[in-house]
Chains A and B, each alone.
Chain A
Amino acid sequence: MRQITIPISDEVIRSLKVGDPVLLNGVMVTGRDAVHKWLVETFIYKTRPPQGDDLEVYEAIKPLLNGGGIYHCGPVVAGLDTKDYRFVAAGPTTSSREEPYQGDVMRHFNLKGVIGKGGMGAKTLQACQEVPGVYFHAIGGAASWIAQSVQRVLGVYKLDFGVPEAMWVIEVKDFPAVVTMDAHGQSQHAVIEERSRQVLEQLIGLGR
């Protein structure tokens, strides 16, 4: 299986194709609903002024996201009281909720890899072609298994969003995923959705 190291170069990104199984290595940052909304409103559309530690966190995550990966994940974390954090369960969450934001976040931070489950839509696919970037599909629900690939928790930002919604900076080794959207405009999700629609129409006798 192909090993991919984060940060990922444009050349490597362009060489990845829909259907490729990969193992990810390096540092990634978790971010889901609250993080995407916050990033976009505070730093991209600027509809909300930065507050509290916003600017500090922004400066800290910029280099991590540049060429890096964001993982749609709300982990179970042990060691919350001692701050000796350890990931116990860390599978992906449904990515489609970030569809309104993801493309802009990718462009703003030069984000190369989006890791999640269920795939994303046309806006993100467009950004994958421009940035360029890819969507890595992790195995939904395989949380204990994936947590094993998390070697270390390097830090956490925005813990006030709650444990599942915070930005956890993690170092992963052999994190398993499959490319389901690539930088060449291909999406496995669009293909399966269309194919299954045709079967559905046959099954219930609705032609188009």
Chain B
Amino acid sequence: MTPDLTPQFLELIRLAATDLPPDVEAALRQAVEQEEPGSAARGALETILKNVELSRANQTPICQDTGTPIFYVYHPEGWSTRKLRQQIEEAVVQATQKSYLRPNSVDSLSGKNSGNNLGGNYFPTIHFEEVEGDALTVDLMLKGGGCENVGAQYSLPYNTLKAGRDLEGVRRVVLDAVHQAQGQGCAPGILGVAIGGDRGSGYYASKEVLFRRLDDENENPELAHLEKRLTEEANQLGIGPMGFGGKTTVLGTKITALNRLPASYFVTVSYMCWAYRRRRMVWQDGNVSFE
């Protein structure tokens, strides 16, 4: 019933690690034009683009921190998630041997690196969800530590920023998160924002929303407006690529809203670096495509 897709998973990892998606590259190319000729900001973006081309051509990792591999697996009824997990883990081990991935899984107590990117049930992170139809869709994001470390979760009301439980409050804390991050998450970044949920689901959804394309528009007009506004205002902060100063601090903002408890109002911000490595694989009737 469940086919062996290990080689396809390996290809998905290779693609994610070495080949930046076209929408991200296009946004970076646009950003270069915004920066002053000769500025450190422009120099940084130019180097970034040269690196993107080189990684694609040589099939080497865009960034050496190949992050936590985060898989979202949407499978048809009747598939074995146990087998899928085994296949994904095997593909991760092979990708590490081929230097598409850096050995990144460290035992938090002993400090030992497992050497093969496996370790417990959360490394790699795999979310399974059963869906209608007969297609298997697997989304993969490689999220590095530098940008993960500058993610933030706020519990509103948040008095220091006079942020109440409304979209204005959301705006305030998100801008604060961008300011706190400075260049540390390898700006220009992409903001994944979840409003509501609990602490766990908030972070989950703030990453899931990062699978949206950079150039799409939020279906909710209020959120669509806030996404645009936050991107513009974050760029007014002048932090710039790598924190060198400049016009490009974020490339985009993606917001989602979850139901919450009456007592809680969390705003969760996942910061994704410019090395926005996310890819999708779709399998149907024995055919595989990647986007």
Contact = CB atoms under 8 A, between A and B. Distances in A.
Interface of A: 19, 21, 34, 73-78, 88-91, 93-94, 96, 117-119, 137, 139-148, 161-165, 176, 178, 180, 188-189, 191-193, 195-197, 199-200, 203-206
B179 A200 contact: yes
B238 A164 contact: no
A94 B182 contact: no
B162 A144 contact: no
A96 B245 CA distance: 18
Interface stretch (B4-12, B45-53, B86-94, B131-139): B45-53
A61 B129 CA distance: 51
B103 interface: yes
Interface stretch (B61-69, B215-223, B253-261): B61-69
Contact of B113 (A165, A176, A193): A165
A65 B171 CA distance: 46
Given A94-B146, A163-B103, A206-B162, A141 B273 contact: yes
A21 B38 CA distance: 10
Given A144-B61, A164-B103, A203 B236 contact: yes
B112 interface: yes
Contacts of B43: 21, 178
Interface centre among A119, A137, A139 (most CB of B within 10 A): A139
Nearest to A142: B51
Contacts of B252: none
Contacts of B62: 89, 141, 143-144
Residue among B58, B64, B244, B275 having the largest count of chain A Cβ atoms under 10 Å:
B64
B61 A76 contact: yes
A90 B233 CA distance: 33
8 contacts: A89-B102, A91-B63, A140-B146, A140-B186, A143-B60, A144-B60, A203-B233, A206-B162
Contacts of B146: 93-94, 117-118, 140
A36 to B, nearest CB: 14
Nearest to A203: B233
A178 B40 CA distance: 8
Contact of A164 (B113, B244, B245): B113
Contact of A76 (B99, B149, B237, B243): B99
B55 interface: yes
Interface in B164-178: 171-172, 175-176
Interface string B231-245: 001001111101111
B197 to A, nearest CB: 24
B111 interface: yes
B282 interface: no
Contacts of B44: 139, 178
Contacts of B275: 141
B47 A176 contact: yes
B50 A145 contact: yes
B111 A34 contact: yes
Q: Which 9 A-B pairs have the closest CB atoms?
A: A162-B113, A145-B51, A140-B186, A89-B64, A118-B184, A142-B51, A89-B61, A143-B64, A141-B275
Nearest to B57: A144
Given A89-B61, A94-B149, A163-B102, A139 B55 contact: no
Contacts of B50: 142, 145
